Amino acid sequence: MSGYRHDLTPFVEDVVRRLDGFSLGSPGRYRNSLDAVYDATAPDVYGCADAANIAYSLGLLPTSGAERDQWVAEIQAHQDPLTGAFRHRTHTEYHTTAQVLGALDLFDAKPLHPLKFLHPLLDEGAIEHFLDGLAWFDDPWFSSWDGAGSAAALAMTGEAPPEWFDRYFTWLDAETDPKTGFLRKGFMLPLEVRRGLFANLAGSFHYFFNYVYFHRPLPHPDAVIDTSLTLFHENPFPIALEHVGYPEVDWVFVINRAARQTAHRRDEVAAALSEVADRVAERVNDEGHRNQDNYFRTVHGLLGTVCTVAELQQAVPGSFHTPRPLRHVLDRRPFI
């Protein structure tokens, strides 16, 4: 482990054990949770898809042969053949569809049916109207599932032409707040509230990985860094002090990818990321924490933890030793 600050082998080994515990005994068939509210005997679409996402990150995903083919077929079987949507009771169909298509992409596979439920968004002016109507003030975090998931899904299937994505990003560029760097201009929530301005960051995260996928620059990277650092230091939504999951990967991804575009406050960004890496290592290597944290109780939740570690391993070189360097699924395709 020479040259690394933290050895995360205990965490990685625990993730592998947990995935085995969620397996229903044949390739690609996974529960999402062992809790009684779920049917623990039937494959769950998030369990199947996110087990693939995690296996990819750990370098354990089968890329050929019968195991790969069975996993793909299991995931594909959850699609509604009439609408093309994938559905799950915990998320919107936009989120679920994009999440599942992202898993299929790791196998170089596509869904069996076109995404007909998204085709109305291809009409002239439709995506702009759709984005404008999202719950930007009420819930910019969860509504971003729909605004980002629709574009990510169409990107992965190739069902939208390049000019459609030009319109999509033109709208996002114009509606990004130049003071905070986040979406949407005129709808920023208060800093002091736990799900206030952090919800604008978390919502923007979902659009930012579409920017990254299309190799487009973030509109206001310096402002993104300023606001992300303010959120970190003011601590309305403590980063990696309570949990290591989706809020953590949201913050790390947003500030890390903005920092790739600009040298603005470079030393402060590096110090904040390094501190978060230390916090993450302390928690994910703690068996007691892993056994109590809800993010370790579902496959979908566990993916948020794995993605946080994968992004930090890139953002803070020398921070984490793992048996194999983790691969971040967002470097392969958009959406988590």
Q: For residues 329 and 336, what is the distance between their CA atoms, to the nearest angstrom?
A: 8
Place of tokens 């020479």: 2
> Is 246 among the domain residues?
yes
Distance from C-alpha of 108 to C-alpha of 102, rounded to nearest angstrom: 10
pLDDT tens digits, one per residue of 202-212? 999 999 999 99
Residue 108 counted as domain residue: yes
Q: What is the pLDDT of residue 105?
A: 98
Q: Is residue 252 part of a domain?
A: yes
Exposure of 242 by Cβ count < 10 A (0-12 exposed, 13-18 middle, 19+ buried)?
Answer: middle
Instruction: Specify the CATH number for the domain of residue 284.
Output: 1.50.10
**With contact defined as beta carbons under 8 Å apart, do 323 and 7 qualify?**
no
Q: Is residue 336, in this structure, part of any structural domain at all?
A: no
Identify the band that residue 61 occupies on the pLDDT scale cut at 50, 70 and 90.
very high
The domain total for the chain is: 1
Token match 């070189």: residue? Answer: 317
Residue 36: what pLDDT? 62
Q: How confident is the model at residue 296 (pLDDT cuts 50, 70, 90)?
A: very high
pLDDT band per the 50, 70, 90 thresholds, residue 37: low
Q: Is the pLDDT of residue 28 over 80?
A: yes
Per-residue pLDDT at 35 exceeds 90 = no
Q: What is the dihedral of CA 141, 143, 146, 147, to 10 degrees?
A: -80
For the entire predicted model, the pTM comes to: 0.97
The amino acid sitting at 299 is: V
Q: What would the pLDDT profile of 320-332 be if each residue is shown by its tens digit? A: 999 999 999 999 9
Other Cβ atoms closer than 10 A to 223 = 19
Residue 255 located in a structural domain: yes
DSSP string, 79-93: B-TTT--B-BTTB-H
Residue 314 within a domain: yes
Residues 6+ positions from 139 with CB-CB distance below 8 Å = 199
Report the b/e string of 86-103 with b at 16+ CB within 10 A: bbbeebbbbbbbbbbbbb
- HEC assignment per residue over 276-302: HHHHHHHHHCCHHHHHHCHHHCEHHHH
Classify residue 232: in a domain, yes or no.
Answer: yes
Residue 203: which domain range? Answer: 6-331
Q: How does 19-33 read in b/e, with b if 16+ C-beta sit within 10 Å?
A: beebbbeebbbbbbb
Identify whether 1 is part of a domain: no
